[in-house]
Structure 1
């Protein structure tokens, strides 16, 4: 990097090499949109208040302290000597660390100039805070006063006031500032200090500690304690394979809960609150069904909505209903299911951790409500994960609080009041998703960060245990799956048994109800015997065989069809028993034959009522075969949500190189002496006869021309070319500096001028 004394940022940028300019554009991508036509525009953007504030948010604690020291030396008003400014940091701060911090500010185009004359952009004072280094303004009345001697004899109560202001904010609120009294009339410590001139009155309620007093009280550390290095981060090593296996176990658990959510909301969608979101009562109902905490349930609900698996159906009475994408997700492989949820979480502009908390007005923050929206959430999430990504594979952090402290040191102005909480929430959510395990970034999580969802799904598939094709049937009518089952086998087992406990091994329980459910779906007793006989690695207990046969013997003896609905049975006694039951009256069943009953109610409602009354009816189709009339669940059609990135994407290397070349050309064009000029008239295009004539004249005489043009985005730029050919709506010319051939549309040219030779 070339360092010369320069009065302005523009002049300094102009003499830097191309790599320095490229580094500025990479470090501050907001400066590259739209493309800067020259270094003057780049310098103007770099000095804007909003852009400098964004830079300050990314500075670490020590670099901010150096920035404050330069501001204390008024480097934003006139160049300051770095060595002199460093005295504000104290004697214990190494000079090389100070110089490295200033180099960082130069790389960001916030500071420029040599060490003997470092200058700051004016907006740096606002970005640095109202009181750089925590010191107030100097008091002219103390310029020739021996301040340490004046402080030596102060009473304890007065010294306590000064010490408090010296080590905190230099301003304070007090009613004693209403009037400045003579010392002999002053009664309170603040009144006496105002009378001594050791405090300055700002207004009737505010006092300020003069800089001279603050420096005297701080002694050898004028800026207080300066944190030079980031806090230590203790780590613990694990085998990468163990981390990935643990992550896969967490993945299976969250996938199971998400499937449960979709099943429950298919059957009974919860209502949308009037203010938007998901109600507390429904959340607690969900936690009981899943046997998880409310915080875990909130995360699953937010993930399902973010992945477009559930949505507000926007009906007259709105409900949260599974979408058409839920069916696609349910049929996908578990690795792809995980990748969908993990990608949605990574880009989720919301903070699920806020769910269940209360805001400043004591209002409950409901899941799925707008109260949880935080556009910066994806950026903060990525910051946390990037720290883990910088560690060796399998290496995890020992304490989340230590990671929060490291991130707070690296960017103390980011995150707001929830900064540390966001770190903890991110780690908890990432662990539940399998992105993090045992405090370390998992292999699939690393792939998600670096390569995207497809590569992450492939890595998760490798980490997951191989699906198994068997179960273990126990004598107590439980079925143990010692691992994830093959999809087809899992569907069969879920059809005939209910999950009793889940984990690395899933325990199912077979009951009369679950067997009847399988028979209702069209399975026969032979199908169920065959399932357990061929898929169980343990002997099938006789009690299970007897239970299947007993339920199957009673199942389907009573059959119903839609007439609106009918019930038929070969046994007139059973028909008579049903007709005499109290449920027959509510269902309006009437006998039309010794073996047939009919009803105006839907068949499914009739079957449910009779099953609740102790009967075991089955539904049949036109061919007399058992059919499954269970509802498949409600769905709402929604498009997949487009992810909105909140960060400005940095330009790639080719784009940066092209921008630098364009700025160099713009600088050269700005420095040229222009002769005869042709400008497009109002209401006319640039492709006028005068413009054509000037360009053709330059081409014939081999003269250079200065060209002003506007691109498709309305950004004006200028460059110097040696015209080679003019025609077909194109100006083709050679760049005198790079010898590159450029082709410019004539309709984009707003003005043109012949380049005059420099004066002798």
Structure 2
């Protein structure tokens, strides 16, 4: 015998299996908090407006067309519902969408309890009508609107007054009231001209309405047609996966180099934080001047470094003494990050950007007060940033590897998939998000890279391996030129990179980096403890070209003068094996600045710090070298300021959803409460079912345990939540009741003083 269709939503939910209820709570986790006492309570929650609106955020255009059809057919009418048979729904929409897609849409709505019932009659949750992203009838009635090219052409010829009227309606709401809509109004009035051009719809003598497509175009949203029930198919541009990964590797190389440069500049001179907490334009321009990096790129890099905890705001050590409370400076984790392989460094930055709850591309835009938004300022934070970013890249990653999709096509596809969020996929937003993704190496040439695809799917180890394979292998040689330049034909090995950077300055960077040797750079290497022999050996061993004689002369000449004059601590001292040289120093004006005093023909002392002594002597034209107490040359280069890294992570952008195991336990509790609500009790401690004394409660529970009878109890847990349940007492003692839960078969433990009511079950 065929079962009768459910009469109420609660009955329909009660007929679900535990697996189906768990799936419902995974899709709508707000229904489980707090735990509903019965199916009637769960059913009431599924119809609450706020919950319904949240549940419809992920629905696509076809899903909303089904909802609209059910509304128009009366399936959402609470007073006299008219459930719609599934067969009739297929008749109404089947000419515009395949049957399989329509059935899948109905299944999505049933799975979210937005639609309930059987094939004989489908009901709609009344609040679902309020979630429609367009006026009622847009998806079911035949469209009579201008196409996108027609709208674009019509907008070109508008006067400023007419365009301003349309822009206002697009920003504030599609419906407007005006006396110019009345018949007989002169045709040259702005409203009448817009009505004639079909850029406005006439509602009545005092009301006009902005067509959906016109409003979308004015707001720079993807122009979508609610009547089209099949997803748009973007034009794919096929490219080689190897070429895409290689292009991304080039961007990653630049990203890592620029990130290291920004950290180095801020380490040498931390940037004072703005009063609002951001990084000021003046400081960004200082970084631009010292690094040569584009200003917009520095803003993005600063945001990513801060998200990765490599850059932070606070009081760095050593602390700048200029009255500023907070500075932006590298953290103590920076040195460890710089020491790992490039692919690992990239994963840290790329993952930080994916999880960044901010929009870096908004830097420089104007806020409500017409002030530019600063990098690292609180105004860039947006609760939708992570969701929007992952939606854009997630859709792009759905296409086969190497396939590129344009930003407009991505925006249209996303707007069809999530029409309630279509304003988030404006062309500017999609384009700038893709541009940031290309800078980070997740996208290249319009396609998701292999490493980016792995990272989007939550596999950072695979992403690191893919990026390591795409990045060029480090080289262990350089090309020394006769003009005292050094060409690195690729990324150098870490050891060679450190040694070359010590003795030469970067002149130009890219796929091949050019370094420049000079007196200053060679002296810097000697100051760090290198010897002339070690520098000669460096170029002899690693240069694929003959070492020019000019370089040999340069190293020998600087080394000959270097270290003849030495400075130490007295607070500081200056010594030289050449008394004439020391006498020359003492006779120079710098001697007075440092308050040098001779204590021997070859030694003078000063109360100035050693670093200051070295700096001023070098500025005066001398070449001193720092030494320690044993006479060995020490590296006194500044290491840069650092801020202590904070171990505490910022809270997640959204709460963690409950696990399937937790939801299964909640469903079991719900089943127990439902069973208790429908169980009849015949004997109670009192005539009203409430308990009298603890002794009476214990006696009844002990009786039930001896006779193996079920009891109906009212229980209040430690959180104060009351529930009803039917159990089989097993043991009573020690202030605790051990009982069998007949629904789950598990042994449960109840505190006796929390049992509010108890009754034997018939």
| TM-score of the aligned structures, taking structure 2 as reference length | 0.82
Q: Distance in 1 between matches of 2:419 and 2:381?
A: 22
Tell me the residue number matched to 1:709. Answer: 715
Q: How does 1:192-591 map to 2 (within 5 A)?
A: 226-313=227-314, 316-392=324-400, 394-414=401-421, 416=423, 419-591=426-598
Q: Distance in 2 between matches of 1:434 and 1:54?
A: 33
Q: Distance in 2 between matches of 1:249 and 1:329?
A: 20
| Contact 1:709 1:748 survives alignment (8 Å) | no
CA change 1:689–1:329 in 2 (3 A) is farther
| Contact 2:84 2:123 survives alignment (8 Å) | no
Tell me the residue number matched to 1:722. Answer: 728
- 1:74 CA drift (Å): 4.7
| Contact 2:244 2:402 survives alignment (8 Å) | no
Q: Distance in 2 between matches of 1:200 and 1:714?
A: 56
- 1:371 CA drift (Å): 0.6
TM-superposition CA deviations, 1:378-413 (whole Å, max 9, x none): 122222232233233x33323122112211211122
Q: Does 1:663 align with 2:670?
A: yes
Q: Does 1:9 align with 2:16?
A: no
- 1:531 CA drift (Å): 1.4
Tell me the residue number matched to 1:75. Answer: 75
1:673 to 680, 683, 688: 680
Q: Distance in 1 between matches of 2:716 and 2:508?
A: 67
CA change 1:53–1:567 in 2 (3 A) is same
- 1:297 CA drift (Å): 0.9
SS of 1:344's partner is: helix
- 1:547 CA drift (Å): 1.0
Mean CA deviation greater in 79-88 or 516-525: 79-88
SS of 1:133's partner is: coil
CA change 1:425–1:640 in 2 (3 A) is farther
TM-superposition CA deviations, 1:235-263 (whole Å, max 9, x none): 34444444444433332321221211121
Q: How many aligned residue pairs are there? A: 696
| Contact 1:725 1:733 survives alignment (8 Å) | yes
| Contact 1:354 1:372 survives alignment (8 Å) | yes
Q: Distance in 1 between matches of 2:402 and 2:585?
A: 67
| Contact 2:694 2:753 survives alignment (8 Å) | no
Tell me the residue number matched to 1:113. Answer: 117
- 1:712 CA drift (Å): 5.2
| Contact 1:732 1:741 survives alignment (8 Å) | no
SS of 2:515's partner is: strand
CA change 1:434–1:199 in 2 (3 A) is closer
CA change 1:384–1:540 in 2 (3 A) is same
SS of 1:57's partner is: coil
| Contact 2:96 2:228 survives alignment (8 Å) | no
| Contact 1:249 1:504 survives alignment (8 Å) | yes
Q: Does 1:103 align with 2:107?
A: yes
Q: Distance in 2 between matches of 1:61 and 1:257?
A: 43
- 1:286 CA drift (Å): 1.7
1:745 to 750, 753, 758: 750
- 1:36 CA drift (Å): 4.2
CA change 1:627–1:105 in 2 (3 A) is same
SS of 2:623's partner is: coil
SS of 1:413's partner is: helix
CA change 1:748–1:461 in 2 (3 A) is farther
Tell me the residue number matched to 1:145. Answer: none
Q: Distance in 2 between matches of 1:487 and 1:693?
A: 79
- 1:110 CA drift (Å): 1.2
SS of 2:698's partner is: helix
SS of 2:137's partner is: helix
Tell me the residue number matched to 1:609. Answer: 616
2:132 to 118, 128, 133: 128
Tell me the residue number matched to 1:633. Answer: 640
Mean CA deviation greater in 466-475 or 94-103: 94-103
- 1:225 CA drift (Å): 5.2
SS of 1:723's partner is: strand
| Contact 1:235 1:395 survives alignment (8 Å) | no
Q: Distance in 1 between matches of 2:692 and 2:177?
A: 63
Q: How does 1:118-197 map to 2 (within 5 A)?
A: 118-128=122-132, 131-133=135-137, 171-175=175-179
CA change 1:262–1:407 in 2 (3 A) is same
| Contact 2:567 2:627 survives alignment (8 Å) | yes
Q: Distance in 2 between matches of 1:535 and 1:636?
A: 37
| Contact 2:691 2:697 survives alignment (8 Å) | no
2:705 to 689, 696, 699: 699
| Contact 1:467 1:484 survives alignment (8 Å) | yes
Mean CA deviation greater in 312-321 or 584-593: 584-593
CA change 1:252–1:36 in 2 (3 A) is farther
Q: Distance in 2 between matches of 1:668 and 1:70?
A: 33
- 1:372 CA drift (Å): 0.4
CA change 1:33–1:442 in 2 (3 A) is farther
CA change 1:294–1:691 in 2 (3 A) is farther
Q: Distance in 2 between matches of 1:130 and 1:387?
A: 24
SS of 2:233's partner is: coil
Q: Distance in 1 between matches of 2:130 and 2:226?
A: 22
CA change 1:170–1:560 in 2 (3 A) is closer
Q: Distance in 2 between matches of 1:187 and 1:114?
A: 56
Q: Distance in 2 between matches of 1:20 and 1:605?
A: 75
- 1:325 CA drift (Å): 1.8
Q: Distance in 1 between matches of 2:557 and 2:751?
A: 89
- 1:583 CA drift (Å): 4.0
Which consecutive aligned stretches of 4+ in structure 1 deviate over 6 angstroms post-superposition?
83-91, 167-170, 185-191, 684-687
Q: Distance in 1 between matches of 2:12 and 2:138?
A: 30
- 1:333 CA drift (Å): 2.9
SS of 2:333's partner is: helix
Tell me the residue number matched to 2:319. Answer: none
Mean CA deviation greater in 659-668 or 303-312: 659-668
TM-superposition CA deviations, 1:348-396 (whole Å, max 9, x none): 111111111112321110001001011221122222232233233x333
CA change 1:619–1:94 in 2 (3 A) is closer
Q: Distance in 1 between matches of 2:311 and 2:37?
A: 47
TM-superposition CA deviations, 1:697-747 (whole Å, max 9, x none): 212222112233345555444332222333355534334455x13322325
Q: Distance in 2 between matches of 1:474 and 1:715?
A: 80
| TM-score of the aligned structures, taking structure 1 as reference length | 0.82
SS of 2:697's partner is: helix
Mean CA deviation greater in 694-703 or 119-128: 119-128
TM-superposition CA deviations, 1:100-119 (whole Å, max 9, x none): 43332221111212355433
